Structure 1
Amino acid sequence: MTTETALRPPSPLLLALEMRAFAEFGGYLAARPLLELAPSGDGHPVLVMPGLAAGDGSTVPLRAFLRRRGYRTYGWKAGRNTGHPGLLGLLQDRLHEIGERNGRAVSLIGWSAGGLYAREIAKLVPERVRQVITLGSPFAGGADVSNVKRLHEWLSGRRGDDPALRERLRATPPQPVTCIYTKTDGIVPWQRCVETPREAVENIEVPGSHSGLGHNPAVLYAIADRLARPEGDATPFARQGWRRLVYPAPVRQEV
Protein backbone atom coordinates (compact mmCIF):
# COMPACT_ATOMS: atom_id res chain seq x y z
CA MET A 1 0.00 0.00 0.00
CA THR A 2 1.30 3.45 -0.90
CA THR A 3 1.57 5.78 2.08
CA GLU A 4 1.03 9.53 2.17
CA THR A 5 4.69 10.15 3.02
CA ALA A 6 5.86 8.09 0.04
CA LEU A 7 3.86 10.05 -2.51
CA ARG A 8 5.60 12.47 -4.84
CA PRO A 9 4.27 14.65 -7.64
CA PRO A 10 4.04 12.78 -10.96
CA SER A 11 7.37 12.56 -12.78
CA PRO A 12 8.57 15.17 -15.31
CA LEU A 13 7.98 12.57 -18.03
CA LEU A 14 4.32 12.12 -17.05
CA LEU A 15 3.94 15.89 -16.85
CA ALA A 16 5.33 16.24 -20.37
CA LEU A 17 2.96 13.51 -21.57
CA GLU A 18 0.02 15.72 -20.60
CA MET A 19 0.37 17.05 -24.14
CA ARG A 20 -1.47 13.86 -25.12
CA ALA A 21 -4.65 15.72 -24.28
CA PHE A 22 -4.62 17.28 -27.76
CA ALA A 23 -4.38 13.87 -29.41
CA GLU A 24 -7.09 12.59 -27.08
CA PHE A 25 -9.38 15.35 -28.29
CA GLY A 26 -8.78 14.11 -31.83
CA GLY A 27 -9.67 10.65 -30.55
CA TYR A 28 -12.88 12.06 -29.11
CA LEU A 29 -13.86 13.53 -32.49
CA ALA A 30 -13.02 10.27 -34.30
CA ALA A 31 -14.91 8.18 -31.73
CA ARG A 32 -18.14 10.21 -31.83
CA PRO A 33 -19.99 7.69 -34.03
CA LEU A 34 -19.06 4.86 -31.64
CA LEU A 35 -19.92 6.94 -28.58
CA GLU A 36 -23.46 7.22 -29.89
CA LEU A 37 -23.74 3.55 -28.88
CA ALA A 38 -23.13 4.45 -25.23
CA PRO A 39 -26.08 3.97 -22.84
CA SER A 40 -28.79 6.63 -23.07
CA GLY A 41 -30.20 8.44 -20.06
CA ASP A 42 -33.55 9.27 -18.52
CA GLY A 43 -33.29 13.04 -18.95
CA HIS A 44 -32.28 13.88 -15.40
CA PRO A 45 -30.12 16.98 -14.83
CA VAL A 46 -26.32 16.82 -14.68
CA LEU A 47 -24.11 19.60 -13.30
CA VAL A 48 -20.50 19.59 -14.55
CA MET A 49 -17.67 21.36 -12.70
CA PRO A 50 -14.34 22.24 -14.35
CA GLY A 51 -10.79 21.75 -13.14
CA LEU A 52 -8.38 24.21 -11.55
CA ALA A 53 -7.96 27.48 -13.50
CA ALA A 54 -10.59 26.35 -16.02
CA GLY A 55 -14.17 27.44 -16.62
CA ASP A 56 -17.28 26.12 -18.31
CA GLY A 57 -15.62 26.27 -21.74
CA SER A 58 -13.43 23.31 -20.82
CA THR A 59 -16.44 21.07 -20.18
CA VAL A 60 -18.30 21.83 -23.43
CA PRO A 61 -17.36 18.50 -25.13
CA LEU A 62 -18.47 16.48 -22.09
CA ARG A 63 -21.74 18.37 -21.71
CA ALA A 64 -22.47 18.14 -25.45
CA PHE A 65 -21.92 14.38 -25.36
CA LEU A 66 -24.26 13.98 -22.39
CA ARG A 67 -26.93 16.10 -24.05
CA ARG A 68 -26.81 13.74 -27.02
CA ARG A 69 -27.29 10.84 -24.60
CA GLY A 70 -30.49 12.45 -23.34
CA TYR A 71 -29.45 14.41 -20.24
CA ARG A 72 -30.13 18.02 -19.28
CA THR A 73 -26.62 19.32 -18.73
CA TYR A 74 -25.45 22.47 -16.97
CA GLY A 75 -22.19 24.33 -16.49
CA TRP A 76 -21.43 25.61 -13.03
CA LYS A 77 -21.54 29.36 -13.98
CA ALA A 78 -18.99 30.19 -11.30
CA GLY A 79 -16.27 31.52 -13.61
CA ARG A 80 -12.75 30.17 -13.32
CA ASN A 81 -12.08 27.45 -10.76
CA THR A 82 -9.77 29.07 -8.23
CA GLY A 83 -9.92 26.24 -5.71
CA HIS A 84 -11.24 28.63 -3.05
CA PRO A 85 -13.75 27.30 -0.48
CA GLY A 86 -15.80 30.47 -0.97
CA LEU A 87 -17.19 29.01 -4.19
CA LEU A 88 -19.20 26.44 -2.23
CA GLY A 89 -21.99 28.90 -1.46
CA LEU A 90 -22.39 29.84 -5.13
CA LEU A 91 -22.47 26.20 -6.14
CA GLN A 92 -25.09 25.29 -3.55
CA ASP A 93 -27.28 28.04 -5.02
CA ARG A 94 -26.63 26.70 -8.50
CA LEU A 95 -27.57 23.18 -7.41
CA HIS A 96 -30.81 24.41 -5.82
CA GLU A 97 -31.66 26.35 -8.98
CA ILE A 98 -31.17 23.30 -11.22
CA GLY A 99 -33.02 21.01 -8.84
CA GLU A 100 -36.00 23.36 -8.63
CA ARG A 101 -36.08 23.86 -12.39
CA ASN A 102 -36.17 20.14 -13.08
CA GLY A 103 -37.93 18.79 -10.02
CA ARG A 104 -35.37 15.99 -9.81
CA ALA A 105 -32.12 15.11 -8.05
CA VAL A 106 -28.99 16.23 -9.90
CA SER A 107 -25.96 14.11 -10.83
CA LEU A 108 -22.65 15.89 -10.20
CA ILE A 109 -19.54 15.47 -12.33
CA GLY A 110 -16.30 17.16 -11.27
CA TRP A 111 -13.05 17.23 -13.23
CA SER A 112 -9.91 17.45 -11.07
CA ALA A 113 -10.46 20.26 -8.51
CA GLY A 114 -14.06 20.43 -9.70
CA GLY A 115 -14.58 17.01 -8.19
CA LEU A 116 -13.67 18.33 -4.75
CA TYR A 117 -16.55 20.78 -4.97
CA ALA A 118 -18.86 18.06 -6.28
CA ARG A 119 -18.11 15.86 -3.28
CA GLU A 120 -18.52 18.68 -0.78
CA ILE A 121 -21.84 19.89 -2.22
CA ALA A 122 -23.14 16.30 -2.20
CA LYS A 123 -22.43 16.16 1.54
CA LEU A 124 -23.92 19.58 2.26
CA VAL A 125 -27.14 19.12 0.24
CA PRO A 126 -27.56 15.31 0.02
CA GLU A 127 -31.26 15.42 -0.84
CA ARG A 128 -30.49 17.32 -4.06
CA VAL A 129 -27.82 14.95 -5.40
CA ARG A 130 -28.36 11.69 -7.27
CA GLN A 131 -24.74 10.54 -7.64
CA VAL A 132 -21.18 11.91 -7.79
CA ILE A 133 -18.59 11.20 -10.49
CA THR A 134 -15.04 12.57 -10.19
CA LEU A 135 -12.39 12.72 -12.91
CA GLY A 136 -8.84 12.71 -11.55
CA SER A 137 -9.90 14.55 -8.39
CA PRO A 138 -7.29 14.44 -5.56
CA PHE A 139 -9.69 14.32 -2.62
CA ALA A 140 -7.46 11.94 -0.64
CA GLY A 141 -4.87 14.65 0.06
CA GLY A 142 -4.06 18.30 -0.52
CA ALA A 143 -2.44 20.16 -3.39
CA ASP A 144 0.97 19.90 -1.71
CA VAL A 145 1.89 16.78 -3.70
CA SER A 146 1.03 17.81 -7.25
CA ASN A 147 2.51 19.59 -10.24
CA VAL A 148 0.10 22.51 -9.82
CA LYS A 149 0.87 23.33 -6.20
CA ARG A 150 2.08 26.88 -6.92
CA LEU A 151 -0.81 27.55 -9.29
CA HIS A 152 -3.30 26.39 -6.67
CA GLU A 153 -1.73 28.60 -4.00
CA TRP A 154 -1.76 31.61 -6.32
CA LEU A 155 -5.38 31.16 -7.44
CA SER A 156 -6.86 30.21 -4.07
CA GLY A 157 -4.77 32.51 -1.91
CA ARG A 158 -4.19 29.59 0.46
CA ARG A 159 -0.74 28.51 1.63
CA GLY A 160 0.36 25.29 3.29
CA ASP A 161 -1.59 22.25 4.39
CA ASP A 162 -4.87 22.38 6.30
CA PRO A 163 -5.36 19.10 8.22
CA ALA A 164 -9.03 19.86 8.97
CA LEU A 165 -9.80 20.53 5.31
CA ARG A 166 -7.90 17.42 4.28
CA GLU A 167 -10.01 15.23 6.56
CA ARG A 168 -13.18 16.91 5.34
CA LEU A 169 -12.32 16.22 1.70
CA ARG A 170 -11.56 12.56 2.44
CA ALA A 171 -15.07 11.94 3.79
CA THR A 172 -17.19 10.05 1.26
CA PRO A 173 -20.51 11.53 0.06
CA PRO A 174 -23.61 9.50 0.99
CA GLN A 175 -24.71 8.99 -2.63
CA PRO A 176 -23.27 6.47 -5.13
CA VAL A 177 -19.72 7.61 -5.93
CA THR A 178 -17.59 6.81 -8.98
CA CYS A 179 -13.93 7.87 -9.10
CA ILE A 180 -12.45 7.82 -12.62
CA TYR A 181 -8.66 8.10 -12.72
CA THR A 182 -5.58 7.35 -14.80
CA LYS A 183 -2.34 5.86 -13.53
CA THR A 184 -0.46 8.00 -16.07
CA ASP A 185 -1.77 11.25 -14.57
CA GLY A 186 0.88 13.94 -14.95
CA ILE A 187 -0.74 16.49 -12.65
CA VAL A 188 -1.68 14.72 -9.40
CA PRO A 189 -0.75 11.31 -7.94
CA TRP A 190 -3.45 8.86 -9.03
CA GLN A 191 -3.39 7.31 -5.54
CA ARG A 192 -5.10 10.46 -4.24
CA CYS A 193 -7.93 10.12 -6.75
CA VAL A 194 -9.36 6.76 -5.61
CA GLU A 195 -11.67 5.59 -2.85
CA THR A 196 -11.62 2.43 -0.77
CA PRO A 197 -13.99 0.25 -2.86
CA ARG A 198 -17.22 -0.77 -1.12
CA GLU A 199 -20.94 -0.81 -1.78
CA ALA A 200 -21.99 2.16 -3.94
CA VAL A 201 -18.36 3.41 -4.08
CA GLU A 202 -16.14 2.39 -6.99
CA ASN A 203 -13.01 3.30 -8.95
CA ILE A 204 -12.69 3.10 -12.74
CA GLU A 205 -9.23 3.27 -14.29
CA VAL A 206 -8.83 4.61 -17.83
CA PRO A 207 -5.83 5.10 -20.13
CA GLY A 208 -4.80 8.67 -20.88
CA SER A 209 -3.79 12.02 -19.42
CA HIS A 210 -5.22 14.14 -16.63
CA SER A 211 -5.78 17.07 -18.97
CA GLY A 212 -7.75 14.93 -21.41
CA LEU A 213 -10.15 13.33 -18.95
CA GLY A 214 -13.00 15.64 -19.97
CA HIS A 215 -13.01 14.39 -23.57
CA ASN A 216 -11.35 10.97 -23.32
CA PRO A 217 -13.69 8.49 -25.11
CA ALA A 218 -13.16 5.82 -22.42
CA VAL A 219 -14.13 8.35 -19.75
CA LEU A 220 -17.21 9.51 -21.64
CA TYR A 221 -18.46 5.96 -22.11
CA ALA A 222 -17.95 5.16 -18.43
CA ILE A 223 -19.79 8.32 -17.40
CA ALA A 224 -22.72 7.48 -19.69
CA ASP A 225 -22.86 3.97 -18.22
CA ARG A 226 -22.91 5.24 -14.65
CA LEU A 227 -25.48 7.97 -15.28
CA ALA A 228 -27.81 5.50 -16.98
CA ARG A 229 -28.34 3.55 -13.75
CA PRO A 230 -31.77 4.03 -12.17
CA GLU A 231 -31.77 6.44 -9.25
CA GLY A 232 -30.53 4.68 -6.12
CA ASP A 233 -29.00 1.80 -8.11
CA ALA A 234 -25.44 1.03 -6.95
CA THR A 235 -24.66 -1.75 -9.45
CA PRO A 236 -20.88 -1.66 -10.08
CA PHE A 237 -19.34 -0.99 -13.48
CA ALA A 238 -19.22 -4.21 -15.52
CA ARG A 239 -15.99 -5.17 -17.27
CA GLN A 240 -17.13 -8.09 -19.41
CA GLY A 241 -16.35 -8.50 -23.09
CA TRP A 242 -14.60 -5.65 -24.88
CA ARG A 243 -14.54 -3.53 -21.74
CA ARG A 244 -11.77 -5.73 -20.33
CA LEU A 245 -9.49 -4.34 -23.04
CA VAL A 246 -10.15 -0.72 -22.04
CA TYR A 247 -10.86 -0.76 -18.32
CA PRO A 248 -8.42 -2.58 -16.00
CA ALA A 249 -9.62 -4.43 -12.92
CA PRO A 250 -10.58 -1.99 -10.14
CA VAL A 251 -7.85 -0.77 -7.82
CA ARG A 252 -7.86 -2.35 -4.36
CA GLN A 253 -5.73 0.23 -2.59
CA GLU A 254 -6.86 1.43 0.83
CA VAL A 255 -6.82 5.24 1.00
Structure 2
Amino acid sequence: MATRHPHRGAPHTWHSLIEWRALLEMAMLPMAWPLLATAQPGDGHPVLLLPGFMADEGTLVALKLFLRGRGYDVQTWGLGRNIGFQRRHAEALEKKIRYLHHKTGRKVSLVGWSLGGVFSMYGALQASECVRQVITLGSPISVDPEGSRSPPLVKALYRMIAHPMGPEVHVMQPRAKRLREHQLPPVPISALYSISDGVVPPQEATVDGPDTQVENIRVAGSHTGLGFNAMVMCVVADRLALPEGQWRPFQPAGLPGMAYKLLTHDALPV
Protein backbone atom coordinates (compact mmCIF):
# COMPACT_ATOMS: atom_id res chain seq x y z
CA MET A 1 0.00 0.00 0.00
CA ALA A 2 1.05 3.58 -0.67
CA THR A 3 0.65 5.56 2.54
CA ARG A 4 0.48 9.24 3.42
CA HIS A 5 3.54 10.94 4.83
CA PRO A 6 3.61 10.70 8.65
CA HIS A 7 4.18 14.44 9.17
CA ARG A 8 1.68 16.14 11.47
CA GLY A 9 0.62 19.74 11.75
CA ALA A 10 1.52 22.74 9.60
CA PRO A 11 4.61 23.11 7.41
CA HIS A 12 7.73 24.08 9.29
CA THR A 13 7.83 27.85 9.76
CA TRP A 14 11.30 28.02 8.26
CA HIS A 15 10.13 26.29 5.09
CA SER A 16 7.32 28.83 4.75
CA LEU A 17 9.70 31.74 5.24
CA ILE A 18 12.05 30.58 2.48
CA GLU A 19 9.43 29.94 -0.19
CA TRP A 20 11.20 32.69 -2.12
CA ARG A 21 13.76 30.02 -3.07
CA ALA A 22 11.38 29.31 -5.95
CA LEU A 23 13.15 32.18 -7.71
CA LEU A 24 16.40 30.20 -7.53
CA GLU A 25 14.67 27.14 -8.92
CA MET A 26 13.45 29.20 -11.87
CA ALA A 27 16.91 30.65 -12.43
CA MET A 28 18.51 27.18 -12.42
CA LEU A 29 16.05 25.70 -14.91
CA PRO A 30 17.98 26.79 -18.07
CA MET A 31 21.07 25.00 -16.76
CA ALA A 32 19.06 21.80 -16.33
CA TRP A 33 17.48 22.01 -19.79
CA PRO A 34 20.14 19.83 -21.55
CA LEU A 35 19.42 17.07 -19.02
CA LEU A 36 15.68 17.51 -19.42
CA ALA A 37 16.10 17.13 -23.18
CA THR A 38 17.18 13.52 -22.58
CA ALA A 39 13.85 12.64 -20.96
CA GLN A 40 11.91 9.87 -22.66
CA PRO A 41 9.70 11.18 -25.48
CA GLY A 42 5.96 10.80 -25.18
CA ASP A 43 3.35 9.14 -27.36
CA GLY A 44 1.45 12.31 -28.23
CA HIS A 45 -1.55 11.75 -25.98
CA PRO A 46 -3.33 14.83 -24.56
CA VAL A 47 -2.05 16.29 -21.30
CA LEU A 48 -4.11 18.88 -19.44
CA LEU A 49 -2.26 21.23 -17.05
CA LEU A 50 -4.10 22.91 -14.17
CA PRO A 51 -2.70 25.90 -12.24
CA GLY A 52 -2.61 26.45 -8.49
CA PHE A 53 -4.61 28.86 -6.37
CA MET A 54 -4.44 32.45 -7.62
CA ALA A 55 -2.37 31.32 -10.60
CA ASP A 56 -3.24 31.19 -14.29
CA GLU A 57 -1.93 29.48 -17.40
CA GLY A 58 1.13 31.73 -17.45
CA THR A 59 2.61 29.94 -14.44
CA LEU A 60 2.56 26.68 -16.41
CA VAL A 61 4.64 27.94 -19.33
CA ALA A 62 7.85 26.04 -18.45
CA LEU A 63 6.05 22.75 -17.89
CA LYS A 64 4.00 23.30 -21.04
CA LEU A 65 7.05 23.97 -23.23
CA PHE A 66 8.93 21.03 -21.77
CA LEU A 67 6.13 18.52 -22.28
CA ARG A 68 5.36 19.80 -25.78
CA GLY A 69 9.03 19.28 -26.55
CA ARG A 70 8.61 15.67 -25.43
CA GLY A 71 5.85 15.26 -27.99
CA TYR A 72 2.66 15.56 -25.94
CA ASP A 73 -0.49 17.38 -26.97
CA VAL A 74 -0.38 19.81 -24.06
CA GLN A 75 -3.37 21.97 -23.12
CA THR A 76 -4.08 24.27 -20.19
CA TRP A 77 -7.45 24.50 -18.55
CA GLY A 78 -8.42 27.78 -20.27
CA LEU A 79 -10.48 29.05 -17.33
CA GLY A 80 -8.30 31.98 -16.36
CA ARG A 81 -7.10 32.45 -12.80
CA ASN A 82 -7.76 29.70 -10.29
CA ILE A 83 -9.72 31.49 -7.56
CA GLY A 84 -10.71 28.48 -5.51
CA PHE A 85 -12.77 25.35 -5.94
CA GLN A 86 -15.61 27.14 -7.69
CA ARG A 87 -18.61 25.26 -9.08
CA ARG A 88 -18.37 26.86 -12.52
CA HIS A 89 -14.71 25.87 -12.84
CA ALA A 90 -15.40 22.32 -11.71
CA GLU A 91 -18.19 21.92 -14.25
CA ALA A 92 -16.14 23.48 -17.05
CA LEU A 93 -13.19 21.21 -16.27
CA GLU A 94 -15.26 18.07 -16.63
CA LYS A 95 -16.54 19.32 -19.98
CA LYS A 96 -13.01 20.12 -21.14
CA ILE A 97 -11.76 16.63 -20.24
CA ARG A 98 -14.63 15.02 -22.11
CA TYR A 99 -14.08 17.32 -25.10
CA LEU A 100 -10.35 16.51 -25.33
CA HIS A 101 -11.10 12.81 -25.10
CA HIS A 102 -13.73 13.06 -27.83
CA LYS A 103 -11.57 15.26 -30.07
CA THR A 104 -8.41 13.14 -29.88
CA GLY A 105 -9.92 9.72 -29.30
CA ARG A 106 -7.40 9.21 -26.51
CA LYS A 107 -7.53 9.37 -22.73
CA VAL A 108 -6.25 12.56 -21.09
CA SER A 109 -3.51 12.79 -18.47
CA LEU A 110 -4.16 15.45 -15.82
CA VAL A 111 -1.28 17.33 -14.18
CA GLY A 112 -2.37 19.70 -11.41
CA TRP A 113 -0.19 22.02 -9.37
CA SER A 114 -1.36 22.76 -5.80
CA LEU A 115 -5.12 23.43 -5.91
CA GLY A 116 -4.99 22.39 -9.55
CA GLY A 117 -4.31 18.88 -8.29
CA VAL A 118 -7.58 18.94 -6.34
CA PHE A 119 -9.36 19.88 -9.57
CA SER A 120 -7.50 17.03 -11.30
CA MET A 121 -8.74 14.51 -8.76
CA TYR A 122 -12.27 15.86 -9.12
CA GLY A 123 -12.11 15.71 -12.92
CA ALA A 124 -10.84 12.13 -12.81
CA LEU A 125 -13.69 11.14 -10.50
CA GLN A 126 -16.32 12.77 -12.72
CA ALA A 127 -14.96 11.56 -16.07
CA SER A 128 -12.80 8.57 -15.20
CA GLU A 129 -13.49 6.88 -18.53
CA CYS A 130 -11.74 9.81 -20.24
CA VAL A 131 -8.69 10.02 -17.95
CA ARG A 132 -5.42 8.13 -18.36
CA GLN A 133 -3.72 9.18 -15.12
CA VAL A 134 -3.50 11.97 -12.54
CA ILE A 135 -0.27 13.65 -11.41
CA THR A 136 -0.48 16.14 -8.54
CA LEU A 137 2.25 18.61 -7.57
CA GLY A 138 2.13 19.60 -3.90
CA SER A 139 -1.67 19.39 -3.89
CA PRO A 140 -3.86 19.30 -0.74
CA ILE A 141 -5.62 16.09 -1.77
CA SER A 142 -5.86 14.44 1.66
CA VAL A 143 -7.18 17.09 4.04
CA ASP A 144 -8.37 15.59 7.33
CA PRO A 145 -11.78 16.33 8.91
CA GLU A 146 -10.28 18.97 11.19
CA GLY A 147 -9.33 21.01 8.14
CA SER A 148 -6.23 22.14 6.31
CA ARG A 149 -2.98 22.70 8.23
CA SER A 150 -1.60 25.16 5.71
CA PRO A 151 -0.14 28.38 7.18
CA PRO A 152 -2.64 30.98 8.49
CA LEU A 153 -1.60 33.44 5.77
CA VAL A 154 -2.57 30.96 3.05
CA LYS A 155 -5.95 30.33 4.67
CA ALA A 156 -6.55 34.07 5.08
CA LEU A 157 -5.78 34.63 1.41
CA TYR A 158 -8.25 31.93 0.42
CA ARG A 159 -10.95 33.48 2.60
CA MET A 160 -10.29 36.89 1.09
CA ILE A 161 -10.23 35.73 -2.54
CA ALA A 162 -12.38 32.60 -2.79
CA HIS A 163 -14.84 32.40 0.10
CA PRO A 164 -15.08 34.25 3.44
CA MET A 165 -15.54 30.95 5.31
CA GLY A 166 -12.44 29.36 3.85
CA PRO A 167 -11.68 26.26 1.77
CA GLU A 168 -13.73 23.97 4.02
CA VAL A 169 -16.93 25.49 2.55
CA HIS A 170 -15.93 24.55 -0.99
CA VAL A 171 -14.91 21.06 0.08
CA MET A 172 -18.36 20.63 1.67
CA GLN A 173 -20.11 21.16 -1.68
CA PRO A 174 -22.26 18.14 -2.65
CA ARG A 175 -20.27 17.78 -5.85
CA ALA A 176 -17.08 17.42 -3.79
CA LYS A 177 -18.47 14.67 -1.55
CA ARG A 178 -16.21 11.97 -2.96
CA LEU A 179 -13.16 14.20 -2.56
CA ARG A 180 -14.19 14.87 1.04
CA GLU A 181 -14.49 11.14 1.67
CA HIS A 182 -11.05 10.55 0.14
CA GLN A 183 -12.46 8.39 -2.64
CA LEU A 184 -9.89 7.76 -5.34
CA PRO A 185 -10.62 7.90 -9.05
CA PRO A 186 -10.09 4.50 -10.74
CA VAL A 187 -6.97 5.69 -12.57
CA PRO A 188 -3.25 5.72 -11.68
CA ILE A 189 -2.33 8.55 -9.31
CA SER A 190 1.16 9.97 -8.74
CA ALA A 191 1.28 12.46 -5.87
CA LEU A 192 4.49 14.49 -5.88
CA TYR A 193 5.33 16.21 -2.60
CA SER A 194 8.20 17.99 -0.87
CA ILE A 195 8.93 17.74 2.83
CA SER A 196 10.23 21.33 2.63
CA ASP A 197 6.97 22.59 1.09
CA GLY A 198 6.11 25.80 2.95
CA VAL A 199 2.45 25.88 1.87
CA VAL A 200 0.96 22.37 1.80
CA PRO A 201 2.21 19.95 4.49
CA PRO A 202 3.36 16.55 3.17
CA GLN A 203 0.59 14.58 4.88
CA GLU A 204 -1.95 16.54 2.84
CA ALA A 205 -0.02 16.25 -0.43
CA THR A 206 0.15 12.44 -0.22
CA VAL A 207 -2.54 9.79 -0.39
CA ASP A 208 -3.33 6.28 0.85
CA GLY A 209 -4.09 3.63 -1.71
CA PRO A 210 -3.04 0.37 -3.35
CA ASP A 211 0.45 0.52 -4.82
CA THR A 212 -0.93 -0.98 -8.02
CA GLN A 213 -2.60 2.37 -8.65
CA VAL A 214 -1.24 4.99 -6.23
CA GLU A 215 2.22 6.33 -5.43
CA ASN A 216 3.66 9.19 -3.40
CA ILE A 217 6.89 10.57 -4.86
CA ARG A 218 9.13 12.79 -2.80
CA VAL A 219 10.86 15.65 -4.62
CA ALA A 220 13.15 18.42 -3.44
CA GLY A 221 12.01 22.01 -3.67
CA SER A 222 9.63 24.75 -2.66
CA HIS A 223 5.87 24.78 -3.19
CA THR A 224 5.78 27.86 -5.40
CA GLY A 225 8.61 26.53 -7.56
CA LEU A 226 7.20 23.08 -8.34
CA GLY A 227 6.16 24.10 -11.85
CA PHE A 228 9.73 25.23 -12.62
CA ASN A 229 11.52 22.43 -10.80
CA ALA A 230 13.75 20.28 -13.03
CA MET A 231 13.38 17.23 -10.78
CA VAL A 232 9.60 17.54 -10.93
CA MET A 233 9.71 17.80 -14.71
CA CYS A 234 11.83 14.64 -14.98
CA VAL A 235 9.44 12.70 -12.77
CA VAL A 236 6.38 13.99 -14.64
CA ALA A 237 7.94 13.01 -17.98
CA ASP A 238 8.74 9.55 -16.64
CA ARG A 239 5.15 9.03 -15.47
CA LEU A 240 3.56 10.32 -18.68
CA ALA A 241 5.78 8.11 -20.84
CA LEU A 242 4.37 4.89 -19.41
CA PRO A 243 2.29 3.03 -22.01
CA GLU A 244 -1.43 3.19 -21.36
CA GLY A 245 -2.54 0.25 -19.28
CA GLN A 246 1.04 -0.56 -18.19
CA TRP A 247 1.40 1.77 -15.21
CA ARG A 248 3.99 0.89 -12.58
CA PRO A 249 5.43 2.76 -9.57
CA PHE A 250 8.26 5.22 -10.10
CA GLN A 251 11.79 3.80 -10.03
CA PRO A 252 14.55 6.40 -10.47
CA ALA A 253 17.15 5.28 -12.98
CA GLY A 254 20.12 6.60 -14.92
CA LEU A 255 21.77 9.96 -14.33
CA PRO A 256 18.50 11.71 -13.40
CA GLY A 257 17.80 8.86 -10.99
CA MET A 258 21.17 9.30 -9.32
CA ALA A 259 20.50 13.02 -8.88
CA TYR A 260 17.04 12.21 -7.53
CA LYS A 261 18.41 9.86 -4.88
CA LEU A 262 21.11 12.31 -3.88
CA LEU A 263 18.76 15.27 -3.48
CA THR A 264 15.92 13.44 -1.75
CA HIS A 265 18.19 11.27 0.45
CA ASP A 266 15.82 8.42 -0.27
CA ALA A 267 15.61 6.11 -3.26
CA LEU A 268 12.09 5.04 -2.35
CA PRO A 269 9.20 7.32 -3.40
CA VAL A 270 7.28 7.17 -0.12
| Matched residue SS, 1:114 | helix
| Matched residue SS, 1:179 | strand
Deviation at 1:82, TM superposition (A): 1.2
Q: What residue in structure 2 maps to residue 195 of structure 1?
A: 207
Aligned match for 2:238, one of 222, 225, 236: 225
Provide Cα deviations, 1:220-248, integer angstroms capped at 9, x if missing partner: 00000000000112211113451432452
Q: What residue in structure 2 maps to residue 40 of structure 1?
A: 41
Q: Is the 8 A contact 2:4 2:207 kept in 1?
A: no
Q: What residue identity is the alignment partner of 1:107?
A: S
| Matched residue SS, 2:227 | coil
| Matched residue SS, 1:40 | coil
Q: Is the 8 A contact 2:4 2:216 kept in 1?
A: no
- Identify the range of structure 1 (165-174 vs 95-104) with the bigger mean alpha-carbon deviation: 165-174
Q: Is the 8 A contact 1:108 1:132 kept in 2?
A: yes
Q: What residue identity is the alignment partner of 1:155?
A: I
For residues 176 and 3 of structure 1, do their structure 2 counterparts lie closer, same or farther at Cα, with a shift above 3 Å needed? closer
Q: What residue in structure 2 maps to residue 159 of structure 1?
A: 165
Aligned match for 1:182, one of 172, 190, 194: 194
| Matched residue SS, 1:130 | strand
The answer for unaligned runs of 5 or more in structure 1 is none
Q: What residue in structure 2 maps to residue 209 of structure 1?
A: 222
Q: Distance in 2 between matches of 1:176 and 1:220?
A: 18
| Matched residue SS, 1:178 | strand
Q: What residue in structure 2 maps to residue 127 of structure 1?
A: 129
| Matched residue SS, 2:110 | strand
Tell me if 1:71 matches 2:61. no
Q: Is the 8 A contact 1:141 1:166 kept in 2?
A: no
| Matched residue SS, 1:77 | coil
Q: Is the 8 A contact 1:203 1:250 kept in 2?
A: no
Deviation at 1:2, TM superposition (A): 8.9
Alignment of structure 1 residues 78-117 onto 2, 5 Å? 78-86=79-87, 87-117=89-119
Deviation at 1:215, TM superposition (A): 1.1
For residues 106 and 112 of structure 1, do their structure 2 counterparts lie closer, same or farther at Cα, with a shift above 3 Å needed? same
Deviation at 1:85, TM superposition (A): 3.3
Q: Is the 8 A contact 2:101 2:130 kept in 1?
A: yes
Q: What residue in structure 1 maps to residue 58 of structure 2?
A: 57
Q: What residue identity is the alignment partner of 2:24?
A: A
Provide Cα deviations, 1:106-154, integer angstroms capped at 9, x if missing partner: 0000000000000011010011100000000011117632121111122
Provide Cα deviations, 1:17-53, integer angstroms capped at 9, x if missing partner: 1111010011211111110011110000000000000
Q: Distance in 2 between matches of 1:232 and 1:28?
A: 32
Deviation at 1:101, TM superposition (A): 2.1
Aligned match for 1:144, one of 124, 144, 148: 148
Q: Distance in 2 between matches of 1:126 and 1:229?
A: 18
Tell me if 1:244 matches 2:269. no
Q: What residue in structure 2 maps to residue 12 of structure 1?
A: 13
Q: Is the 8 A contact 2:5 2:202 kept in 1?
A: no
Q: What residue identity is the alignment partner of 1:168?
A: L
Q: Distance in 2 between matches of 1:155 and 1:173?
A: 29
Q: Distance in 2 between matches of 1:96 and 1:43?
A: 17
Q: What residue in structure 2 maps to residue 22 of structure 1?
A: 23
- Identify the range of structure 1 (6-15 vs 93-102) with the bigger mean alpha-carbon deviation: 6-15
Deviation at 1:185, TM superposition (A): 0.3
Q: What residue identity is the alignment partner of 2:214?
A: V
- Identify the range of structure 1 (12-21 vs 32-41) with the bigger mean alpha-carbon deviation: 12-21
Count of residues paired in the alignment: 251
Q: What residue identity is the alignment partner of 2:223?
A: H
The answer for unaligned runs of 5 or more in structure 2 is none
